[in-house]
Structure 1
Amino acid sequence: MAKTPLDPSSSMAALYGVHLKRLRERRGWTQHDLAARVFVSPGRVAQLECASGARPTAELTRALDDALDAAGLLVDRWPHVYRESFPDWARRFMELSERAIIIRLYAAQAVPGFLQTEPYARAVLRRGRTLTSAHMLDERVAARMARQERLQGVGAPALSVVLDEAVLMRPVGGHTSMRDQLVRLREACTQHTVQVLPFSSGAHPLLGGSLTLLTMPDGSETAYAEGAEHGQLFEEPDDVASFNRAYDQLRAESLPVAMSVQMIADAAEGYRHGGSERRALARKQLQQRSGRRVRRGGRRPSRGRSGA
């Protein structure tokens, strides 16, 4: 019985597979031929052409595109294939993120994906509850690294980040990984607005979750609230306004930018020496300085969002 041809309209993975097979056959190559050129098994090529198994990684897609001289055809379709594995609301959020001109983040547990090093990202994503294979981990890491390109070049969005102090204290991936991540984060402070929300600030409206606020070219705003086991996209103006107020409160209660940068640098140095005592001392010193500044009547950071 003849095998039913793959319907390219059934999914983005199917469309990708149809293009891949067509490009391969146009060159007169077998699946073994193509596999040898991109250093994967023939079975992996067969999976991609049949839209079965793990989705392609960004790295594999670039290799296939180059080998087949596809002029970016496969590379352009890869983000859509990747997003297809997410629920509708998550795909909507990812699409909005790619068009946003201002991105404001509160990160409660980990460095935001936009600013992660690859080893740190791999350590975070390896713990994902829905992770089922090494291929899936590679795919997620590649996607996270690819999204960082959004912050480069003309048209890059303005980025403002509030980091909970817990982000600096949790050694994700070990001390070396954490040190390198904090050095990267410190370097990012020269390009983006980064503040640390100290433990001493106490309870706040976003306890237990993280938040992303997106401002679009037309001025409209969207909020994405995320917890350990869930995420939710908010587009109603009243909901977004409530999250804006919460974010502004967090910025007002955070350390000023210069003190935040110093805390990040001190934390990185602490990991360099593997010493939790050094990090604790640096945290205590910065918080004491912050307390003295407030008692002297020093101003908190502006609650406005123009610094995003």
Structure 2
Amino acid sequence: MSKHIAVVGLGSMGGAMATALHRAGWQVHGHDPSPAARSAAEKEGVHTVDSLDQLASTPYVVLSLPSASVVEATVPTLLTRPGTLAIVDTTTSQPATSAACASLAAEKGVAFVDAPVSGGRAGAVAGRLTAFVGATADALDVARPVLDALTDGQYRHLGDPGSGNVVKLLNNVLAAVNLVSVGEALAVAKAYGVDPAAAAAGISGASGGSKVSAAMYPDWVLTGTYDSGFALGLMARDAALAVETAAQRGEAPQLLAAASNRWQEALAALGPGADFTEIARTVAPSLTAEGTAAA
């Protein structure tokens, strides 16, 4: 099996994945339009190139890009020369984009897998991300070495191309709902004189518990650190995309839509660069020392 791989997009997640692959023995080439991102990757042992077309014909390619539109612009360039076996797209993209890219790649004899990931930068560095996979069975078989390297086997094949992005968007919008609801609940606890941290611990051991109550609020909100590393603008985008994706199939999830609106309000108040856990500033200001204003 070839151990040559390219990573397109060397930001927080892509750079971490490139570094992990290099440490795992892959020969990694990378590209990013940002000179700073390329320089950071070079320091970790990743060989970078200045233009995307230099990566065409690399046997395996991982995409870690900011949006579906960038994926659409990137994939045709990677398919201009023969030699690529599989493209694994870890971007939180859109189902129709993934299906179109899979079809385009198949015409060239290349496997395309949508595999948006969860686990943050820490999971990427450790090679232990969780991936939501959409692909044909044949494409999955070709891409399996890359998926194994990125996730240590923690991925689930959910269906045809695009399925991975459907479920990843649903995962993120459920987290978005929970960040709103847990914040509101802990604010009620505080109003009754109950320590929010104690309330979160109690809830987390019972039926209302979740990763949000067990870790996100205790670690990032109640401590005032807000340093998860995931931007509020990205979560607001993903929540809106989940509702939009539902509408494309005639579904109208009212609770998900209401939560998405709360994220748009937080985006307007705090800006896209705020940490996503700072949603607490707008939905539960009594929990934060600074109220609704970013620190």
TM-score (norm: length of structure 2): 0.28
Please say which structure displays the higher CA radius of gyration. 1
TM-score (norm: length of structure 1): 0.27
Structure with the larger RCO, 1 or 2 (CA within 8 Å, 6+ apart): 1
